[in-house]
Amino acid sequence: MIDNNFAASKTKYMLVVKFGGTSVGKPERMKKIAELVLGMPGQKIVVLSALSGTTNALVRIGDALLANNHPAAEDEIVALEKHYQNFIQELFESPSYQAIGQEIVSRYFSLFRLLAAGKFDDRGYRELLAQGELISTELFYHHCQERKINARLLPALHFMSIDENHEPELEKIAERLKPILETMTGASMLVTQGYICRNNKNEIDNLKRGGSDYTASLIGAAVRAEEIQIWTDIDGMHNNDPRIVKKTLPIAELTFDEASELAYFGAKILHPSTIVPAQKYNVPVRLKNTMDEKAAGTLISERGSRGQFKAIAAKDGITAVKIKSSRMLLAYGFLRQVFGVFEKYKTPIDMISTSEVAVSVTIDDSKYLAEIVKELNTFGVIDVDKDQTIICIVGNMLAEKEGVLKEVFQALASVPIRMVSYGGSTNNISLLVETSQKEKALNLLNEGLFGL
């Protein structure tokens, strides 16, 4: 199911395999993934996250530096350095590789202290955040060297880029990757950094938190890989959020559309945009568990089963904006004007619900909320509700199955629902509830729709 034109010119079987923070977070896990990747067919592009906890630590260091709290930043740097010292001691075996590990750690921590000593701004912050993936890939690469594994480093900052709207430039990424990969055809593993990229000013930037999944999908699409594999600490996409609901089950297969909705609406296992590039070039995405390689995981592709509830996800931090205006009655062009305000402030709308005299929309980016409300005030009375959560119920052909809404509303009989969106696509029902109701709603839906 690969793009035929590309498949015809393709000489190599290529897999893109991404390992998240917990999969590389301990020396023995890093050793295990080298083993795992070695056992896979063809050439592998291995996308690594930072070791678990590192990006959070870098965020804390960056925040402390922005707040001019240098002692707090130094404390964090010292603690992180200790962590890496212990890590390399277990990762490398021979004295010569111990020395290489030592050199790597000293080099990165000198850089952290250099960044901390100078004028620290947003640009320095983003450079700091990028170091987690740079250090993890360098350590992994040298581990492969020590084991005489035929691996090469593939520097993400040489090809991964975003435009002025922070959107990845897939075509340019593919163009830049092609000649680089041609120089590396003999290697069985190409090790690259997830998450990091360059922006339109050529500065170091990133694909937002959890962005290594997105990197894997962008590379998989760019090289038209056979498959993109996301290896993490759970056996695939579950039917509900396992952090909130006790009994959840992995889903064997999802369509691109279903997985995309779940990722966008809060299933943390995937960065919200992960599925987009893979779907564009029809590259299947497989979710696998590093802690249990034999578990089937989840296959995300074009095909999928129909007529059933598949999974539920929830996205917090939502703001609902209601515009009430008698000018809306029998008028045309009103909604265009309203949407124009959100467009002006580059603020995407997730849910919409309309009546004759009012329209409610939800946004998750409230950076320009004050400006938006000020402009909307000219249309009518505006109500703003913060701390809302979108609950997204996904399944195939939900809109064509009988009694779907009845089942959902029956399950949620005791939960106040602020908005409902249904019928916009055939695979999704979205509900807006107060965030304080989320846990209850997810558990009730788990019982009502899945009998769990």
Which residues contribute to the site for ligand ADP (CB under 6 A)? 20-23, 49, 210, 232-234, 237-238, 241-243, 267-269, 313
Q: Which residue spans within 118-201 are E strands per DSSP? A: 151-153, 189-193, 196-198
Within its chain, how far is the Cα of 67 from the centroid?
A: 28
Instruction: Give how many residues touch ligand ASP by CB under 6 A.
Output: 12
Which of 156, 160, 155 lies closest to 199 in space, CA to CA?
A: 160
Q: Which option in ligand ADP, Mg ion, ligand ASP, none does residue 234 bind, with CB closer than 5 to 8 A by kind?
A: ligand ADP
Q: Does the protein bind ligand ASP through residue 211 (CB under 6 A)?
A: yes
Q: Which option in ligand ASP, Mg ion, ligand ADP, none does residue 393 bind, with CB closer than 5 to 8 A by kind?
A: none
Which of 364, 361, 431, 171 lies closest to 280 in space, CA to CA?
A: 171
CB-nearer residue toward ligand ADP: 23 or 193 = 23
Q: Does the protein bind ligand ASP through residue 195 (CB under 6 A)?
A: yes
User: Distance between CA atoms of 266 and 249, rounded to whole angstroms?
Assistant: 17
CB-nearer residue toward ligand ADP: 21 or 168 = 21
- Site residues (vs Mg ion, CB under 5 A): 20, 210
Q: Residue 371 Cβ, how far from ligand ASP at the closest point, in Å?
A: 29
In the 8-state DSSP scheme, what is residue 326?
Answer: G
Which position's Cβ is nearest ligand ADP? Answer: 20
Candidates 85-93, 180-188, 205-213, 408-416; binding stretch for ligand ASP (CB under 6 A): 205-213
Q: Which option in ligand ASP, Mg ion, ligand ADP, none does residue 194 bind, with CB closer than 5 to 8 A by kind?
A: ligand ASP
CB-nearer residue toward ligand ASP: 211 or 277 = 211
Q: Which option in Mg ion, ligand ASP, ligand ADP, none does residue 289 bind, with CB closer than 5 to 8 A by kind?
A: none
- The amino acid present at 160, given as its one-letter code, is M
Q: Does the protein bind ligand ASP through residue 62 (CB under 6 A)?
A: no
Single residue of 27, 194, 277, 304 touching ligand ASP by CB under 6 A = 194
Both tokens of 436, joined, read 């304080």
Q: Residue 403 Cβ, how far from ligand ASP at the closest point, in Å?
A: 39
Q: Residue 25 Cβ, how far from ligand ASP at the closest point, in Å?
A: 10
CB-nearer residue toward Mg ion: 20 or 220 = 20
Q: Residue 209 Cβ, how far from Mg ion at the closest point, in Å?
A: 8
User: Distance between CA atoms of 206 and 212, rounded to whole angstroms?
Assistant: 9
Which of 144, 142, 137, 174 lies closest to 159 in space, CA to CA?
A: 174
CB-nearer residue toward ligand ADP: 111 or 244 = 244
Residue-level length of the chain: 452
Q: Residue 343 Cβ, how far from ligand ADP at the closest point, in Å?
A: 31
The half-sphere exposure of 20 on its side-chain side, counting CA atoms within 13 A, is: 22
Both tokens of 13, joined, read 């079987």
Q: Does the protein bind ligand ASP through residue 209 (CB under 6 A)?
A: yes
Contacts for 263-266: CB closer than 8 Å, 24+ residues apart: 263/313, 264/315, 264/392, 265/313, 265/314, 265/315, 265/390, 265/391, 265/392, 265/430, 266/241, 266/313, 266/314, 266/315, 266/316, 266/390, 266/392
Beta pairing, strands 204-206 & 298-301: unpaired
Single residue of 20, 277, 284, 297 touching ligand ASP by CB under 6 A = 20
- The amino acid present at 385, given as its one-letter code, is D
Q: Which option in ligand ADP, Mg ion, ligand ASP, none does residue 204 bind, with CB closer than 5 to 8 A by kind?
A: none
Single residue of 15, 19, 21, 432 touching ligand ASP by CB under 6 A = 21
User: Distance between CA atoms of 49 and 210, rounded to whole angstroms?
Assistant: 9
CB 351 within 8 A of CB 420: no
Q: Residue 270 Cβ, how far from Mg ion at the closest point, in Å?
A: 7
Single residue of 132, 168, 236, 277 touching ligand ASP by CB under 6 A = 132
In the 8-state DSSP scheme, what is residue 180?
Answer: H
Which of 288, 209, 303 lies closest to 258 in space, CA to CA?
A: 303
Which residues of this chain interact with ligand ASP, rule CB under 6 A? 20-21, 49-50, 55, 132, 194-195, 209-212
